[in-house]
Amino acid sequence: MKPFLNPYHFIPLSKKKIVGEPLDEKANLTGRIEVEIRTKTPLFIPNTSNEHALKVPGSPEGHKSYDFFSYNQLTEPVDDRDETREPVIPGSEIRGMIRSVYEALTASCLSAVDDSKTILKRTEQTFDAGLIYKEKGQYFLAGGKREKIKEDNPFYNQAKTLPEGTTLYYSSETNKRISTSPQDRMKAGYLLKGEPGPEMEEKSKAGFAIITLKNDGETIAHLTDSDLARFNTVLDSYDKNKEKVQRDDGKVYTGYKEYRKQWNDFQKNGTEYFPVYYCRIKDSTGSADQLYLSPACITKKAYKNTIGDILKAHGQFEPCEDESQLCQACRLFGMVSDTAKVASRVRFTDARLEKASWKGYYQKPVTLPIIDTPKISTTEFYLKRPENASYWTFDYWRDQRGNPTLYVPEIAGRKFYWHSSDVLRQSAVPGENNRTIRPIKIKDDNAFKTWVYFERLTEKELKQLVYLLNISGKGTRGYKMGGAKPFGYGSITMKTNRVLIRRLSVNENNDIVIEEEDEIEKYCNTPYEDLFEPETKESFELLSDFDSTKSYSVSYPITDGQRAEQQGGEIVEEGFAWFSENKQPPMANDEHIQLEKYMAPLDGKHMALAKTK
């Protein structure tokens, strides 16, 4: 049995972003490069003009299907015999792929990341009850006590009709009386109904809660703008995910709509307290702490550190902004920020087949299983494990005993997919949550041809560009492009045929003459070491080599049971199961994922796969 290998890996970041040199008069090379692309495994790039582009027998109405990219505006769904459309590889697709490789090899910024986005992650940790109050325009959090109102409480049905945050009076004596007006021996509290939705299933069947002040209202924290902004992000995320889920018990999940409205009202006019749940991570080495607010006790956290913060703190790899500090990739491919705008000096045109008929180019459509490719919030994959950490997040890590330390993490690197000959060809059952695609085949004669135009390049830049565009000129190397990469799709070869340099001269009649000369020999034989960062070489060679993963079974993470199924020739429908199964009982009251059971390290010291524990 071949060991399992995750479908992608990371090229580690260098120590620091390398700032490119400003251009001078030596940047004078203008011309075009003829490039040939061939499919090594089936290729899929979607034509997004129609999300129901194919006739998929047995599929429900909401099932999405996409045909391969063409210039056609797709209207009626076609069956798999239709081969009237010319498959085209859009220039933007080639450009994106080449740029991300160029960025990796030149220690450039990560231009494609959304650096300011707040990262949310579901946590199994139970939050504590609290009450927010205002004083002189500032917000504070007081400790709270959660009193549950179960369905057998006579007040239960009335509470259901009251708005979130309503002041109620509560007696904790055995009969648990509740009143809407002050009564003797009753304590003031605030209604927190919560949601019966996916975030609170099972564990909180209990019904509503009344949050009363704990220890006479001891203040726990002064809430910073960041704390409040992240609270709003959590609320927004519930709203965005709103699916009006009607559960078996008839309860409807609305995404905390009413809670959010009451919170907005409280910010404008509130005079007392507003009920909330919170979690505080206290750094075990110092006095610093980090607070998370939420409308639910079983919830998700909005982390303080953004990807931008993380990239900035470890080598300044956040997308470039300042024109005087541009990385080499931004100088060559262009960039736009609030303060700077640099035009690209390279232009990629669409790659097309030199044929008049596309018969035999399309592969039979395939329905992809649902996979839960790890999102950036899957810290175990995306962030480097801090030494001695048993668990790590975007804001803190925990040691074996569960003690947290606040930190700014490091990302694992730049994500790239392995080449693999394990290509998924068997369709999953078409449903509402997966999709069917029609890729194009591997065909020896299907060379796509394109021209890459360049202007004002330095000699080194042109050599770099030709090196990348001629990746398959020597050895068994290539790139991954397009969709369905985790399923083995999208391996391509890329070869340069001609490098035409344009030169202008004036003839005896004083006319300007444009001459083009093929100088491929001059530009295509420079060794890697003379062009790119040496520390990235090994990773890049492993990732671009078609044979690197030969002795592995490349697959998205699957469970042992699914693996047996897969090896028995069955299709694994639920690619997300591994993620569910690996959320083990919380250690130190938090989530914990173990990877090593399913992941084998690949040879090569930079390529050892993420291993926990």
Of 179-187, 296-304, 313-321, 542-550, which part binds Zn ion (CB under 5 A)? 313-321
Residue pair 208/194 in contact (Cβ under 8 Å)? The answer is yes
Q: What is the smallest separation between the CB atom of 96 and Zn ion, expressed in angstroms? A: 15
Is the Cβ of residue 104 or residue 595 nearer to Zn ion in the bound state?
104
Between CA 491 and CA 246 the distance in angstroms is 43
Q: Across the chain, how many H-helices and E-strands are there?
A: 12, 31
Is the Cβ of residue 20 or residue 365 nearer to Zn ion in the bound state?
20
Is the Cβ of residue 76 or residue 338 nearer to Zn ion in the bound state?
338
Q: Read off the amino acid at residue 421.
A: S
Of 6-14, 320-328, 449-457, 472-480, which part binds Zn ion (CB under 5 A)? 320-328
Q: What is the smallest separation between the CB atom of 330 and Zn ion, expressed in angstroms? A: 3
- Pick from 320, 353, 577, 599: which binds Zn ion (CB under 5 A)? 320
Q: What is the smallest separation between the CB atom of 530 and Zn ion, expressed in angstroms? A: 22
Between CA 405 and CA 193 the distance in angstroms is 33
Q: What is the smallest separation between the CB atom of 606 and Zn ion, expressed in angstroms? A: 23
Name the strand (E) or helix (H) holding 298.
strand 298-302
Is the Cβ of residue 220 or residue 335 nearer to Zn ion in the bound state?
335
Residue pair 237/123 in contact (Cβ under 8 Å)? The answer is no
Q: Degrees (nearest 5) of the Cα angle 187, 193, 194?
A: 135
Give yes or no for residue 327 binding Zn ion (CB under 5 A). yes
Query: How far lies 392's CA from each of 242, 271, 383, 395, in Å?
Result: 29, 38, 8, 8
- Pick from 45, 109, 110, 411: which binds Zn ion (CB under 5 A)? 109
Is the Cβ of residue 97 or residue 109 nearer to Zn ion in the bound state?
109
Of 103-111, 236-244, 257-265, 400-408, which part binds Zn ion (CB under 5 A)? 103-111
Name the strand (E) or helix (H) holding 543.
helix 537-544
Q: What is the smallest separation between the CB atom of 119 and Zn ion, expressed in angstroms? A: 22
Of 101-109, 286-294, 370-378, 459-467, which part binds Zn ion (CB under 5 A)? 101-109
Residue pair 378/455 in contact (Cβ under 8 Å)? The answer is no
Strands 8-11 and 4-5: unpaired
Give yes or no for residue 210 binding Zn ion (CB under 5 A). no
Of 49-57, 181-189, 330-338, 567-575, which part binds Zn ion (CB under 5 A)? 330-338
User: x/- binding map, residues 23-62, to Zn ion, per CB under 5 A?
Assistant: ----------------------------------------
- Pick from 88, 149, 186, 330: which binds Zn ion (CB under 5 A)? 330
Is the Cβ of residue 109 or residue 296 nearer to Zn ion in the bound state?
109
Secondary structure of residue 191 in the 3-state scheme? strand
Give the phi and the psi of residue 577 in degrees, each rounded to 5: -60, -35
Tokens of 357: 């008929």
Tokens of 242: 């709103």
Q: What is the smallest separation between the CB atom of 115 and Zn ion, expressed in angstroms? A: 11
Q: Read off the amino acid at residue 470.
A: N
Q: What is the smallest separation between the CB atom of 333 and Zn ion, expressed in angstroms? A: 9
Is the Cβ of residue 335 or residue 368 nearer to Zn ion in the bound state?
335
Name the strand (E) or helix (H) holding 68.
none
Give the phi and the psi of residue 264 in degrees, each rounded to 5: -60, -40
Binding site for Zn ion (CB under 5 A): 109, 320, 327, 330
